Amino acid sequence: MRKRNRLSAQAYIDGVLRGDRVILSQAITLVESALSTDQVLAEEVMDAVLPHAGKSIRIGITGVPGVGKSTFIEKFGWLVIEQGYKLAVLAVDPSSQSSRGSILGDKTRMEKLSIDKRAYIRPSPSGTTLGGVSARTREAMLLCEAAGFDVVFIETVGVGQSEIAVKGMVDFFLLLMLAGAGDELQGIKKGIIEMCDALVINKADGENKETAKRAKREYANALHLFPAKESSWYPKVTTCSGLSGEGLPEIWQMIQKYRDLVSRNGFFEFNRAEQRANWMQEHVKYLLETNFYNDMAIKEDLNESLADIKSGKVSAIKKARALVQLFMNQIKPK
């Protein structure tokens, strides 16, 4: 049965399209739900709002822990809305793998932005999703666009191999770094630096200014070693202070130049089209995995054999193949 607090599909659709922030939040909660009844309702809502989405500039923002992402977003976001844009911030918080808890503290760290009607901040737990972004972040982004937000920030959990997923849902990927923290690469994997469109050294203020300038030169030299991007854009390295706001107007201008370039050369729409195809493929995987683990026969077989797998009596690979075969046999037409 549908939960009592769920609206009709049309109520969600109408509310989102007229920019009702309360219904927008409820619609995002709906698409985040793992309940099968909610997922069916969410698909109906998404189908209806999809033609009204896609008109924003999508910006991914990531960086090492302690780099000041929330402070940067607070100040940068304020600059964006002061120029007449409506901003949605999808801030994905870390979830505990043991308790499944989540900090969800971005609203408290972005006090000024969170109370402005031109901005909408939505924290979502990342859970176990590969990529550190909520399984439904894409749908949340599309809902925000349909509600009239023309700039979307996606703040990710941190930097690691899994964070690469955010690149697959944004137009511009911004990597925040620190200067003077020991090793200049700070454990950042080559692949993440390679895929960024801008590398921004934050906290370039006070005594850190000179250190940040040196780091900027080193990063700029390093980026020259990477091959040219398919977009024909050469990644830029710059400095800023999320605290004072220095350097932020130049970053916004840089993003505008990027959008102008990729719109002219056709890469903007090419990239969006590739992302849509990838999203479909990823959702197929998600649906298969969900149906597999929710299948009663699979659950029973797993429970009975888990102890033998853990002890090494049964081969994990052999058992995996047997479980998949069991699942396939059940869905084959009689």
Structure token digits, residue 65: 């822990």
Order of strands across the sheet that contains 119-125: 119-125, 87-93, 151-155, 57-63, 172-177, 198-201, 236-239
Half-sphere exposure of 174 (CA within 13 A, CB side): 27
User: pLDDT tens track of the chain, all 334 residues?
Assistant: 445 579 999 999 999 999 999 999 999 999 888 788 998 999 999 999 999 999 999 999 988 778 888 899 999 999 999 999 999 999 765 554 434 434 445 555 677 888 899 999 987 665 555 544 556 788 999 999 999 999 999 988 655 545 677 888 899 999 998 886 544 454 455 667 778 899 999 999 888 888 898 888 888 887 877 777 899 999 999 999 998 999 999 999 999 999 999 999 999 999 999 999 988 888 888 888 888 998 999 999 999 999 999 999 999 999 999 999 999 998 777 5
Total number of residues shown for the chain: 334
Q: Which distant-in-sequence residues (6+ apart) come within 8 Å of 12 by Cβ?
A: 23, 26, 27, 30, 41, 45
Tell me if residue 178 falls in helix, strand or coil: coil
Catalogue all structural domains in the chain, each as residue range(s) with its CATH number. 1-52 (1.20.5.170), 53-265 (3.40.50.300), 281-331 (no CATH)
Instruction: Kindly state the tokens that stand for 237.
Output: 């390295």
Q: Do residues 205 and 242 touch, judged by C-beta distance below 8 A?
A: no
C-alpha 59/C-alpha 180 separation (Å) is: 26
- 242, 68 contact by CB (below 8 A): yes
CA angle (103, 68, 27) in 5-degree steps: 45
Angle at CA of residue 28, ends 148 and 83, nearest 5°? 30
Instruction: Give me 246's structure tokens.
Output: 């220095």
Residue in 11, 13, 25, 90 with CA at minimum distance from that of residue 52: 13
